[in-house]
């Protein structure tokens, strides 16, 4: 599939490898595609065990959408600075090993701006910015480890505001 052909991750053995969706990721991908085909937004709160690949799938999906769709803004809000760095490094790895050269503009230290599609991939830290998730109109949002975020209810309320009710 698209992910395996185009994206590279560091696997559990610490090796660079193609992103082959695991069964949990396949379920999420099918569900997202079904929502898209119906013309409905895909909102989900995923209660999960650790290390199921949900964050990797979310970042990969947002990266793919940014590569293929015009003017797409995707925001990730991580629960702490270390996670913010890891997630953004994943996006930079996607970009570095993408088979086609993607032109980028530097938006900020934690944002990729894809010139071809005018799409952005932004990673913020909960609690580090007063406005994590605010100030944008975004088509995709992933809040990683919401239960570990400072004031998760306020963060979720603020983060959902820039997400339109359409896909």
Instruction: Read off the pLDDT of residues 2-47 as tens digits, 9 standing for 90 and up.
Output: 999 999 999 989 999 999 999 999 999 999 999 989 988 887 778 7
Backbone angles phi, psi at 94, to 5 degrees: -55, -45
- Compute the distance between CA of residue 36 and CA of residue 19 in angstroms, rounded to an integer: 22
Please tell me the number of Cα atoms within 13 Å of 128 on its side-chain side.
14
β-pairing verdict for 73-78 and 104-108: unpaired
- Compute the distance between CA of residue 167 and CA of residue 53 in angstroms, rounded to an integer: 23
Instruction: Give 119's strand partners.
Output: 114
Q: Residue 137 is encoded by which pair of tokens?
A: 């109109």
Instruction: Read off the pLDDT of residues 131-151 as tens digits, 9 standing for 90 and up.
Output: 555 567 788 888 888 777 777
Instruction: Read off the pLDDT of residues 76-86 as tens digits, 9 standing for 90 and up.
Output: 988 889 999 99
The model's pTM is 0.87
- Compute the distance between CA of residue 70 and CA of residue 66 in angstroms, rounded to an integer: 7
Q: Residue 62 is encoded by which pair of tokens?
A: 């947002």
Q: What is the pLDDT of residue 72?
A: 93
Are 114 and 67 in contact by the 8 Å Cβ rule? The answer is yes
């Amino acid at each position: 599939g698209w992910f395996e052909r185009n994206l590279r991750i560091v696997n559990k053995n610490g090796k660079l490898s193609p992103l082959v969706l695991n069964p949990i990721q396949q379920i999420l991908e099918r569900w997202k595609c079904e929502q898209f085909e119906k013309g409905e937004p895909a909102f989900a709160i995923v209660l999960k065990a650790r290390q199921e690949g949900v964050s990797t799938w979310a970042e990969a999906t947002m990266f793919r959408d940014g590569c293929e769709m015009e003017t797409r803004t995707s925001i990730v809000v991580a629960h702490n600075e270390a996670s913010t760095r890891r997630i953004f490094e994943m996006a930079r790895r996607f970009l570095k090993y993408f088979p086609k050269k993607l032109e980028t503009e530097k938006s900020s230290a934690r944002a990729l701006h894809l010139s071809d599609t005018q799409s952005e991939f932004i990673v913020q830290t909960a609690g580090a910015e007063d406005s994590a998730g605010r100030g944008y109109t975004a088509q995709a949002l992933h809040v990683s480890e919401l239960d570990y975020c400072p004031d998760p209810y306020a963060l979720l309320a603020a983060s959902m505001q820039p997400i339109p009710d359409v896909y």
